[in-house]
Amino acid sequence: MSERVPRSARWILGMVAYLVPTYRRAAWRRQWAAELEHRCAIGAAGDGLIRFALGSIAHALWLRREGMTMRGWTADLRQSMRAMVRSPGFTLLTVATLAVGIGTATGVFSIVETVLLRPLPMRESDRLVRIFSTNVSRGSDRFSVSYPDYADFTAPAGLCEASSFYIGRSQDLSGEGEPERVRSASVHEDFFQTLRSRLLLGRPFGADDHSASSDGC
């Protein structure tokens, strides 16, 4: 396009061209550039040329709507494939960036789904409530509850359908091979009944199991 055409009109035409489907963009730009050149040659004023360039927006939008067909999509796909073949380095970088982004997003979603979204592997897990206490001296509002406090919380009749108490700890497990540090817990007699868990071995705890003379489970 010659320098006789106002720069603003050329700029408008260049920006509007991006609205046109890829497979028709070059021909569309030549057509409108030739029309601007013709109007400039017959003495059209600068503001008239700018208004004419703005009129290209409607034509570009119409072509874009018409191009939203299978032919338009396939033409754009072919154009994109040719561009990727011409720039293998950029293509490799783009694919690597997408792979890292998708992998990261998948990992984050897996963590969120496991921690926040997936229900606990127990019956009616949405009814389970864990009680914490507040420790002012340590500045914690999620502190473990002592057994006397637990007894006070659960004393009122009808407050909970079932309740239990546990203390988490770590212990050394020995036997064949090297000893191993494992996480364990001391639990109240109603622990498994409260969770409604099915035991794989043994039997549920009972009140007699709190005795030192218990035979175990």
Neighbours of 121 (CB within 10 A): 8
From CA 100, how far away is CA 108, in angstroms rounded?
12
Q: What is the pTM of this model?
A: 0.39
Instruction: Please compute the mean of the pLDDT values over residues 151-179 and round it to a whole number.
Output: 80
Q: Which range (20-24, 58-62, 117-121) has the least confidence?
A: 117-121
User: How far, in Å, CA of 93 to CA of 4, rounded?
Assistant: 42
List the chain domain ranges: 7-86, 87-118, 126-210
DSSP for 147-173, written as a single string: HHHHHHHH-STTS-S----EEEEEEEE
Whether the predicted pLDDT of 206 surpasses 60: yes
How many residues in the chain? 217
Percent of the chain with pLDDT over 90: 3
CB 37 within 8 A of CB 49: no
Residue 100 has a pLDDT of 92
Give the model confidence (pLDDT) of 141-162 as tens digits: 778 888 888 888 777 767 778 8
User: Residue 95 — pLDDT band, cuts 50, 70, 90?
Assistant: confident
